[in-house]
């Protein structure tokens, strides 16, 4: 069960990283097309928090699997 959670965490982390790196404009071009995440600045902050949370979860599970 934990390995399935770790796999899902990996996939979400990869997806978030791909969303964050499309071009130099960041999410400003995404924000003009769609107001899904609010303003570009709040979307960046939300993605930053989500990315760091997923990274922390990844490291916690990686340490758990190595012990």
And the tokens for 46?
């939300």
pLDDT of residue 26: 52
pLDDT of residue 53: 92
**How would you label 35-53 residue by residue, b for 16+ Cβ within 10 Å and e otherwise?**
eebeebeebbeebeeebee
pTM higher than 0.75 for the full model? Answer: no
**Residue 31, Cβ neighbours under 10 Å: how many?**
19
Q: What average pLDDT does this structure show over 2-7? A: 86
How far from each other are the two terminal CA atoms of the chain, in whole angstroms?
17
User: Which among 4, 2, 8, 3 is positioned nearest to 54, based on CA atoms?
Assistant: 8
pLDDT of residue 23: 54
pLDDT tens-digit readout, 7-63: 899 999 888 888 776 555 555 555 554 555 556 677 778 888 888 999 999 899 889
pLDDT of residue 11: 92
């Amino acid at each position: 069960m934990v390995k399935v959670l770790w796999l899902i965490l990996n996939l979400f982390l990869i997806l978030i990283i791909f969303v964050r790196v499309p071009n130099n404009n960041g999410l400003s071009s995404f924000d003009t097309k769609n107001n899904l995440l609010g303003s570009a600045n709040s979307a960046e902050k939300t993605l930053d928090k989500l990315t760091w949370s997923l990274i922390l979860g990844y490291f916690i599970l990686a340490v758990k699997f190595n012990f």
